[in-house]
Amino acid sequence: MQLPQITPVDRTREPALRTLIDGKAKPLGALGRIEDLAVQLALIAGQPAPRVAKALLLVFAGDHGLTESGVSSYPREVTTAMVATFLAGKASANAFARAVDCEVRVVDAGVAANLKPHPSLIHAKVRKGTRNAAREPALTPDEVAQALERGVMIAWENAAADCDVLLLGEMGIGNTASAALLMHRLAPAPLADCVGAGAGHDAAGLARKLAVLEQAAARTDATDPLTVLAEFGGLEIVMMTGAILGAASSRRPIIVDGFICTAAALAAIRLDPGARDYCIFAHRSQEQGHRLMLEALAAEPLLDLDMRLGEGTGALLALPMVRAAAGLLTEVASLQDVLAGRI
């Protein structure tokens, strides 16, 4: 398949941006990593006045055949129920989105049910859930290509509608298992270091989950990104991977949520390293593998709040920091103007 072309940011512009920020009405370096974030936003925009006013959270939803082998403490029907909750505006992500003025839309990437039309639902289903990766490839190469292409198109359509910044979230029972397998092969990292409690396993459940994922990993020695995505899924992760590539090719910043969204970012960056420039990592999840996955990407997240919900909640909490960083460039007076009385 033909992936979108991503133009890496022009880092020769960074010294001038640093000089501009240093000249603001504040002590040098006083805003710490917010200054770094401001530079990243300006590099993404290709000019020193980045726009991040219009934000959209896309919650990608899909089901996983791995749940048949007991990798989750919840039944897969919870995915469909939570999609209905998002569309009713009653999930944690909806509450957080209202607090930070962000639109929420749900993407049906592969929910194992027929979902009714809704103004906030994007129908992009490739199939009703993945196959059980413990026994066979979760997806065919053609299904991976379809999911990637649909993710790219969703990002492009929203960029064309003047979306300034894209936030990623997800919903899919069993998707920490899929993300752990992707991390195992693409980081790479020992599988035991990638597997965590997910939505709430006890010790016995965690041991069962690890055993199932060891079975899945033993089926194949795949390491190239497209094959790894096909072997282990899931559809919401693959479609997020495409959305990251599409947003980056449109020069839009992407706020990446927790463990599962970071697995999609990992896959996107392995497919095109240029995508890394456009990713803003929101928070460090409590999920065991997230710290190591962030380290594999040389990523330092903005927040560490002991969260592990998903849904894009961490990305939403990071959004005000992103907007504040843009405001440093566009709204803060220069020290020279302050001293000269031109304010």
Residue 187 in tokens = 């980081």
Return the structure tokens found at 73.
Answer: 């403490």
Q: What are the residue ranges of helices labelled H in the chain? A: 14-22, 33-45, 77-87, 92-100, 141-160, 175-186, 191-194, 203-218, 225-232, 235-249, 259-271, 290-296, 313-330, 335-339
Query: What residue has token string 């460090």?
Result: 284
1 in Cβ contact with 245 (< 8 Å): no
**CA–CA gap between residue 224 and residue 222 (Å, rounded):** 6
Round to whole Å and give the CA distance between 238 and 297. 18
Is 193 within 8 Å of 68 (Cβ atoms)?
Answer: no
The structure tokens listed for 6 are 């991503």
Catalytic residue among 35, 170, 236, 311, which? 311
- For residue 92, the SS3 value is helix
Distances (CA, A) of 289 to 26, 62, 194, 281, 340: 38, 21, 4, 15, 52
Radius of gyration of the chain (CA): 20
**CA-CA distance, 161 to 154, in Å (whole number)?**
11
Q: Which residue, 179, 316, 300, is CA-closest to 241? A: 179
Q: Is there a catalytic annotation at residue 311?
A: yes
* Enzyme catalytic residues: 311
